[in-house]
Amino acid sequence: MPHPPAPLALGGTTYSWMHQATLTEALRGLAEAGFTQVELTTAAPHLQSGAAGTLERHALVRELRALGLTPTSVNPGFLDINLLSPSNEFRALSLRAMLDELELAADLGAPYVIAMPGRRHALSPAPDEACRWWLDQALDTLVTRGEALGVALALETNPYGYLGSAAQLTEIADRVDSPWLGIAYDAANTLTVENVADGVRTAAHRLKIAHVSDTWRDRWVHTSPGRGEVDFAAYADALREVGYTGPTIYELIDMEPPGPRLARDIATFGQYGWTTEAVGDLPAAPRRRPAAQGEGS
């Protein structure tokens, strides 16, 4: 008899509860659903990396441990962050925000920070060479700091930004050629961009983390599996084919209450080999955060 497919680790995200419940309620909802790995969305009103003080971070770590949740990643959501803004001021603010994400991830013990290069104006886009230069400058700063903290940056495939396909992001990661920069592959984000299996194969040698949810070709969402057109079987098979053993985050973001659907959605993903049980690999915990210049010993 054929062996069952190797299991893939399925994690959840607090993003599912954004603007519907508190961060604590989101974490408890994830734990109650059976998740053991979690991606934290670091956006208001839940959590803002630059505003979260030491006590808030310690309390969050305690809450995660009490619920049996392991943080895989932090993700700012990218509503305002744009590392390619033609404005020097807004580019600097975006870089500061991403540095804050790295610091928070290190404090929480999350090995990854999700990142997107940014966006160009649809009517008057900045020249490609300028965007590349701004991105190179930002990545040099972020990857250097990430390495010092033991936190890797994962560039996420996306359908609306600048350089969002697996091939484009992998070219960037290959050019930087650092173990602290890789790819976050999102199947719902690439439905209209590329074949999901081909995208996974392209990004395989740089793949840090995966995202999964359903969507339609003519309407971009992150919704329950079975509603849209994502080929989950092909996605799961491709992840196993390339030897991926990290977490796949179920990124449910559609402003419908997530709690009532999670058991059914998890069961649907289970048909393709995903499980909320603790399987697969995570990198070693980040190294102790080095003191910033001027901090006391």
Assign residue 224 a region: left if phi > 0, alpha if psi is -120 to 50, beta otherwise? beta
Q: What is residue 155's predicted lDDT score, i.e. its pLDDT?
A: 97
A 10 A CB-CB count for 223 gives 21
Q: What is residue 291's predicted lDDT score, i.e. its pLDDT?
A: 44
Percent of the chain with pLDDT over 70: 93
Q: What is residue 6's predicted lDDT score, i.e. its pLDDT?
A: 86
Would the pLDDT of 77 be above 90? no
What is the rounded distance in angstroms from the CA atom of residue 153 to the CA atom of residue 141? 11
Would the pLDDT of 184 be above 70? yes
Assign residue 271 a region: left if phi > 0, alpha if psi is -120 to 50, beta otherwise? alpha
Of the candidates 41, 61, 38, the residue with the CA atom closest to the CA atom of residue 49: 41
Q: What is residue 79's predicted lDDT score, i.e. its pLDDT?
A: 82
Would the pLDDT of 288 be above 80? no
227: exposed, middle or buried (Cβ count in 10 Å: 0-12, 13-18, 19+): middle
Domains of the chain, start order: 8-275 (3.20.20.150)
Q: Diameter of the chain by CA atoms?
A: 64
Would the pLDDT of 296 be above 50? no
Q: What is residue 282's predicted lDDT score, i.e. its pLDDT?
A: 63
Q: What is residue 3's predicted lDDT score, i.e. its pLDDT?
A: 63
Q: What is residue 103's predicted lDDT score, i.e. its pLDDT?
A: 97
Q: What is residue 295's predicted lDDT score, i.e. its pLDDT?
A: 40
Would the pLDDT of 294 be above 50? no
Give the mean pLDDT of 37-59. Answer: 93
Q: What is residue 85's predicted lDDT score, i.e. its pLDDT?
A: 93
Of the candidates 154, 155, 215, 156, the residue with the CA atom closest to the CA atom of residue 188: 215
Would the pLDDT of 23 be above 90? yes
Give the mean pLDDT of 133-142. Answer: 97
Percent of the chain with pLDDT over 90: 83
Per DSSP, the residues of the chain read: -PPPPPPEEEEEEGGGGTTTS-HHHHHHHHHHHT--EEEEE--TTT--TTT--HHHHHHHHHHHHHHT-EEEEEE---SS--TT-S-HHHHHHHHHHHHHHHHHHHHHT--EEEE------SSSPPPHHHHHHHHHHHHHHHHHHHHHHT-EEEEEP-SSSSS-SHHHHHHHHHHH--TTEEEEEETTTSTTTS-HHHHHHHHGGGEEEEEE-B--SSS--BB-TTSS---HHHHHHHHHHTT--SEEEE--BSSS-SHHHHHHHHHHHHTTTEESSS-S--PPPPPPPPPPTT---
Cβ atoms 146, 99 nearer than 8 A: no
Give the mean pLDDT of 51-64. Answer: 93
> At 236, phi and psi to the nearest 5?
-60, -45
Would the pLDDT of 290 be above 90? no
Confidence of residue 89 (pLDDT cuts 50, 70, 90): very high
Peptide bond into 125 cis (omega under 30): no
Would the pLDDT of 230 be above 60? yes
Handedness of CA 43, 62, 154, 289 (dihedral sign): positive
Q: What is residue 293's predicted lDDT score, i.e. its pLDDT?
A: 42
pLDDT higher for 92 or 1? 92
Q: What is residue 289's predicted lDDT score, i.e. its pLDDT?
A: 46
Would the pLDDT of 228 be above 70? yes
